[in-house]
Amino acid sequence: MKYRVLVFDFDGTIADTMEEARRIYNELAPDYGIREVGEHEIAELRHLSLKQILLKLEIPKRRVPSIIARGTGMMRGNIEKLQVIDGMKEALVEMRKQVDRFGILTSNATANVDVFLRNHGLRDLFEFVSSTSKLTGKARHLRAIRKTFSLHAEEMLYIGDELRDVKAAQKAGIPHAAVSWGFNSRESLEAARPTYLIDRPEDFLRLFSPASGG
């Protein structure tokens, strides 16, 4: 089997958190003197990189860590109400049979992820849940995970829904699967040239078919 370890992003990849994240952001916006984001703006924002989003919404970069910390804390109150992306639970169960280990690397709080996974009967699939408070700090964590499990680069796959996930995997020198149902649009993800572009959770299983070489 080509891949021994699969590492997943959480928000937008496994958990359907987009609308909850927008709600929380809008609730925090007045405290930081930044404007709220309307539902009609999401389609445009999905085409933008993190840097472009911060510029468009006029969010000072120094404010980002505080917004994340407060936002993940606020999400805890509603985490049990959030749902798994349609089809993702079934895909996770099948993929887990194909590899040695599952893990999660997220900007969300590990406590939130743990509650969510337990609520949906998925916690036992994952050996570890790691969190980074920096929106652009995932590459270092991916390298550390690879080192921890003594993996060759081609034995580990990172799966996420954002351009920054693609860039983190590329910086870490590992394969990456971008999912088109999360935050960033399919067009923007395709332009970033991920190793794989996945449109439906069931399409993950093709990565482990003989024809894929996986």
Q: Are residues 119 and 181 in the same domain?
A: yes
Q: Are residues 99 and 145 in the same domain?
A: yes
pTM beyond 0.75, yes or no? yes
Residues 6+ apart with CB under 8 A from 155: 2, 3, 4, 5
Total structural domains in the chain? 2
Q: For 78-175, where are the E strands, in sequence order?
A: 101-106, 128-131, 156-160
Note the pLDDT tens digit of each residue in 178-206: 999 999 999 999 999 999 999 999 999 88
Sign of CA pseudo-dihedral 210, 153, 96, 113 = negative
DSSP class of 73: H
Q: Are residues 202 and 112 in the same domain?
A: yes
User: Which one-letter amino acid corresponds to residue 127?
Assistant: E
Note the pLDDT tens digit of each residue in 4-62: 999 999 999 999 999 999 999 999 999 999 999 999 999 999 999 989 999 999 999 88
Q: Are residues 131 and 27 in the same domain?
A: no
**Domain limits at 62?**
18-80
Q: Are residues 73 and 169 in the same domain?
A: no
C-alpha angle with apex 130: 129 to 131, nearest 5 degrees? 130
CATH code assigned at 208? 3.40.50.1000
Q: Are residues 56 and 111 in the same domain?
A: no
Q: Which of 29, 32, 33 is nearest to 41 (CA)?
A: 29
